[in-house]
Amino acid sequence: MSTTQAQGPLAGAADYLDQRTGIASVVKGFARKIFPDHWSFLLGEIALYSFVVLIISGVFLTMFFVPSMGLVEYTGPVSTMSGQLVSEAFNSTLRLSFEVRGGLLMRQIHHWAALLFMAAIVTHMMRVFFTGAFRKPRELNWMVGFILMILGLAAGFTGYSLPDDVLSGNGLRITDGVIKAIPVIGAYMSYFVFGGEFPGGDIIPRLFTIHILVVPALILALVGLHLLFVVVHKHTQYPGGGRTDKNVVGFPLFPIYVAKAGGFFFIVFGVIALMGATMAINNVWNYGPYDPSPVGAGAQPDWYMLFLEGSLRLMPGQAEFVIGGYTLSLNVLIPAVVIPGILFTFLAVYPFLESAVTKDKREHHVLDRPRNVPVRTGLGVGFLTAFIILALAGSNDLIATHFSLSINSITWVFRIGFFVAPVLAFWITKRICIGLQRKDRELVLHGHETGRIVRFADGEYIEVHKPINDQERWLRVSYDAHKPLEIEPREDSRGVRRKGFKQDARLQKLSRFFYEDRVEPVTPTELAAAHSHGEHDQIDAHAPAAQLAGGSGASVSDHDADSHGHQH
């Protein structure tokens, strides 16, 4: 059996690889995968490309950073630090910044890329949440993304703490306090984590290992799994004409999407490099080496950890109790463990909660419009409101100094706002969504307002509406309006209490919370009735005599005769 010789070195290499791995069929099938074209899908790509920048810049930094807490005398070019005893980690950070060519640029690129990485993950998860992209069969992929967000927080915290300066040391001190607040085992865990009494001598090397080895390896593995699920499940798409759960409308991966993705990677890389070159960040020489005594105003962590800082600042400090000789520090446990636990648990379990209250077992590949699921959208906005309030509270000292306000007053405003604002945000968002749904019904049934008024010979005035097109109609009627669950009676026909009734009753109450307030989409019967009411016939019958309001004797055009007329 003869084989055709491939032409050129690349073709020859590809042929060699294909004959030994059979990869050509896989590549061919993958290249034909269709991806929708919508700007919001770029959020996940920004996270991926930021992570690539983190890896590239992190490799460079690893070559010069010394992860040691051993003390040395600083003799570098920073005159304010000259002669001070600093840790080798802090000393190598200053050397990276002032003595290694391009070191400061790479440090700042790395830091900005980390901030953008977390921002892209959070906004990507917001897009997935508000559009219902987590529904079957993507619940597991939602969990993968959730774990990636947690790992991103871990990567940011461990990297932020490595320079061993005053700012990062304060963060580690807070971490030590949170660990010690854990009842019974807290002190032992702190001793284990820090390798002795805080700050110990091992925390920087341990954080370094976690930061450059453990967390990146887990992120790489989960990113691969995340992308594999995207390919297996096919991509979600926004609702519109011709888009169903059985197709994907978009462009093939190769060559169109590959070219776009490649260009977008260089755009992201370029923006991060520009930020690193022009925007100073984490200037550790301004803070000095870690010393447990100084803590000044403006000591804030990176934005994605501000909510935890704010939670600790809002909690009153008197909530401590001694039980059986052990101190129960609720003033630390509630803000540092309970509140973040509620936020993260909500994100993790929500897809399964919504699936339970709908009993919907179908696959969904077409996304929801947020207005069509008002409770989900309201809950998302409510939790975002709580997160933003906590983040602002983490900067309450800066707000006080910049606006000459009382920090106590600011703290109390945020304490009250943390409980009140999310509820208000939920209610307002839900009402807005329902209002938008009603507006959609009005558009489908009656069309767009044109501002044109016609008058009949008998003096009757009618506003002429312009019908919406098929694409607009499809967008507003092709969705499911879930109803509250209907459950079996408490007792069966023989009077025997049904097993599982209490659980079903709880789910029914929850489903009422989710779906009792809803607006049903327009049905074909309603649409046909709206398009055949008598006002159309009146316009046709009186067209010769109809006049524009304020005008003289002009006839209603054929276009107007086909439009919806509304009596005023």
pLDDT at 565 over 60: no
Per-residue confidence (pLDDT) for residue 563, from 0 to 100: 44
Distance CA 294, CA 50 (A): 34
CATH superfamily of 46-294+304-368: Cytochrome Bc1 Complex; Chain C (1.20.810.10)
Name the burial class of residue 156, with classes exposed (0-12), middle (13-18) and buried (19+) by CB atoms within 10 angstroms of its CB.
buried
- Averaged pLDDT, 444-458: 86
- Averaged pLDDT, 394-419: 93
Q: DSSP class of residue 548?
A: E
Helix (H) / strand (E) containing 146: helix 139-160
pLDDT category at 8 given cuts 50, 70, 90 is: low
- Averaged pLDDT, 20-44: 80
Q: Which residues of 306-322 are buried (b: 16+ CB within 10 A; e: fewer)?
A: bbbbbbbbbbeeeeeee
- Averaged pLDDT, 333-339: 91
pLDDT category at 349 given cuts 50, 70, 90 is: very high
Spatial neighbors of 136 by CB under 8 A, at least 6 apart, are 355, 360, 361, 362, 363, 364
Give the 3-state DSSP-derived string for 238-270, with helices as H, strands as E and coil as C.
Answer: CCCCCCCCCCCCCEEHHHHHHHHHHHHHHHHHH
pLDDT at 447 over 70: yes
Residues 281-324 have pLDDT tens digits of 999 888 888 887 776 667 788 899 999 999 999 998 877 788 77
Per-residue confidence (pLDDT) for residue 7, from 0 to 100: 60
**Count of C-beta atoms within a 10 Å radius of residue 519:** 18
Residues 158-167 have pLDDT tens digits of 999 999 998 8
- Of 58 and 458, the structure prediction assigns the larger pLDDT to 58
The two beta strands, 448-455 and 461-466, are: antiparallel
- Of 469 and 143, the structure prediction assigns the larger pLDDT to 143
Per-residue confidence (pLDDT) for residue 556, from 0 to 100: 40
Residue spans per domain, the chain: 46-294+304-368, 441-566
Q: What is the amino acid identity at position 34?
A: I
Cis peptide upstream of residue 289 (ω within 30 degrees of 0): no
Residues 188-224 have pLDDT tens digits of 999 999 888 888 889 999 999 999 999 999 999 999 9
Per-residue confidence (pLDDT) for residue 378, from 0 to 100: 97
pLDDT category at 243 given cuts 50, 70, 90 is: confident
Q: What is the amino acid identity at position 23?
A: I
- Averaged pLDDT, 427-445: 93
Which one, of 111, 115, 104, lies nearest residue 162 by Cα?
111
Beta bridge partners of 165: 289
pLDDT at 37 over 90: no
pLDDT at 331 over 60: yes
- Of 499 and 274, the structure prediction assigns the larger pLDDT to 274
Q: DSSP class of residue 335?
A: I
